[in-house]
Structure 1
Amino acid sequence: MKLWGIDLGGTKIECAVLDPDRNLEVVVRMRLPTESVKGYEHIISQIKRLIDQVAEQVGEQPARIGFATPGVLEPDTQLMKNSNTTCLNGKPLKADLEKILGVPCQLANDANCFALAEALMGAGKDYPRAEVVFGVIMGTGVGGGLVVNNKIIAGHHGIGGEWGHNILEEGGEPCYCGKAGCVEQVISGPALERYYEHVSGRKVSLKDILQHYHDSSDEYATATIDRLLEYYGKAISTLINVLDPGLIVIGGGVGNVDVLYTIGYERIKKYIFNQGVCTTPILKPKLGDSAGVFGAALL
């Protein structure tokens, strides 16, 4: 039986079909635009359209489908919540998908799917003894996913792994979640650009900030990246202190900042509850933007 996965993004919907009999070889990958501005019902119809097109190529219908979703399904109400594709919030997405597709559907947060894929198909393949794998997303937003013994830990409220919405900076910037100073409002890409603009009075892209940091040509760039490294060390140390994972994989655009894995790693040691000793492997992902859809298929 082939494994079907859908990555439901804000701008695109991607489907991938994997063959478990051929070492999870990709049989088909296909995308359609989400067109979320047209509303919830349209997104459902786009998903149906995509699956029908893929089924025609594969030559068979799916027996079940996994979905990587923005936000999560509330375990008690079975309604979506915390999605930045806001038309999904409050909707019975799983039930509606199963009704229109006619097959069982399994939903998980996109960060959890990222973590699962990297644990089983990506960076985790080099660390087979890592029972606990944490996947970090550091990009436009900050999120996380927790995998234990090759299984996603969604948690009692469905918010397992939501590392990005813990308070990192007291009195910091307000967050859409209702708190202020969340991890996401301190070390996400937009947060770093806002900080630079605040201290320098200039609007500059993160790419240029990093360039100025590396060539030591801009004191404000130095301050911005040093602040990132310090708060990154604090935030990651809490993950290690609570979960002590055997592997952390960092995805998202900010995850490409190389000094996170050198100077940033040293900052973690300042805050870890282990006499300053840290040997946790912290790696870039191996699957790129495929992790979400592969993780959905693995559900």
Structure 2
Amino acid sequence: MRIGIDLGGTKIEGVVLADSGAPLFRQRVASPSHNYDNIIDAIASMVAQFEREIGRQATVGVGTPGAPSIHSGLMKNANSTVINGKPLKADLEQALNREVRLANDANCFALSEAVDGAGSGQQVVFGVILGTGVGGGLVVDNQPLLGRNFLGGEWGHNPLPGANEHRRCYCGSSDCIETYLCGSGLLRSAKRLNPAIESTHDL
């Protein structure tokens, strides 16, 4: 059996898949996105709960924003900035006492759609994630195009054409696509158009 974990800036969601690929259990919890140790603990707790349900140990794969550096193995380019500069894969393997497969979440999403989803049968598939951050994955002939830095297909930190609000991005640039199309960016734009919108209305 396999356990898949989606680590996001807002939530952590997991699923247990039978050997056939059929989903057996799902769980979603709020992401402790501002505390790295709590993220590790939340994932470990979710895996432990799943394995109590199935009565056996399973393999674990984690989709995460950003990607590990090919030189140091430390995370980079994650909108959940608390994991940047951290050995996420190694820390998860220590917490779970087994090998963990870790990959960029947008690449996972795009590959899934290319193999057996909306892009099935297409030579080139570009998948876009709009959420707490903005990500993208590019798949050619059912193979993810990772690029030399494992960030092939990422587009959220290109400048938004015509933008001039000088929105600062965590990457250090201004007016990145992500600052307009992520959840908080869309809310900011909506409030500019209608100041009566309350900040408690999350997108």
TM-score norm. by structure 1 comes to 0.58
1:98 aligns to 2:93 (yes or no): yes
Deviation at residue 196 of structure 1 after TM alignment: 5.8
Structure 2 residue ranges without an equivalent (≥5): 198-202
Larger Rg: 1
70, 86, 89: which is aligned to 2:84? 89
Alignment of 1:90-169 (within 5 A): 90-124=85-119, 127-128=120-121, 130-169=122-161
Structure 1 CA distance for aligned equivalents of residues 25 and 126 of structure 2: 28
Tell me which amino acid in the other structure corresponds to 1:10: G
Deviation at residue 190 of structure 1 after TM alignment: 4.7
Structure 1 CA distance for aligned equivalents of residues 187 and 41 of structure 2: 37
Tell me which amino acid in the other structure corresponds to 1:136: V
Which residue number corresponds to residue 265 of structure 1?
A: none
Counting aligned pairs with the same residue, the percent is: 46
Structure 1 CA distance for aligned equivalents of residues 167 and 158 of structure 2: 12
32, 35, 38: which is aligned to 1:35? 32
Deviation at residue 3 of structure 1 after TM alignment: 2.6
| RMSD of Structure 2 on Structure 1 (CA) | 2.5
| 1:86-125: CA deviation from partner (whole Å, max 9, x where unpaired) | 221111011111122122212122222221222233212x
SS of equivalent to 1:17: strand
Higher-helix-fraction structure:
1
Q: Tell me: CA distance 1:194–1:17, structure 2 relative to 1, closer, same or farther (3 Å).
A: closer
* Kept in 2: contact 1:6–1:15 (CA 8 A): yes
Deviation at residue 134 of structure 1 after TM alignment: 0.8
1:54 aligns to 2:50 (yes or no): yes
Which residue number corresponds to residue 174 of structure 1?
A: 167
Higher-strand-fraction structure:
2
Tell me which amino acid in the other structure corresponds to 1:114: F
Q: Tell me: CA distance 1:186–1:7, structure 2 relative to 1, closer, same or farther (3 Å).
A: closer
Structure 1 residue ranges without an equivalent (≥5): 206-252, 254-299
* Kept in 2: contact 1:146–1:161 (CA 8 A): yes
1:25 aligns to 2:18 (yes or no): no
TM-score norm. by structure 2 comes to 0.82
Which residue number corresponds to residue 280 of structure 1?
A: none
Structure 2 CA distance for aligned equivalents of residues 48 and 87 of structure 1: 18
Deviation at residue 144 of structure 1 after TM alignment: 0.7
Alignment of 1:1-299 (within 5 A): 2-21=1-20, 24-37=21-34, 39-62=35-58, 64-124=59-119, 127-128=120-121, 130-169=122-161, 172=164, 173-176=166-169, 177-188=171-182, 190-191=184-185, 194-195=188-189, 198=192, 202-203=194-195
Structure 1 CA distance for aligned equivalents of residues 131 and 29 of structure 2: 23
Q: How many residues align?
A: 196
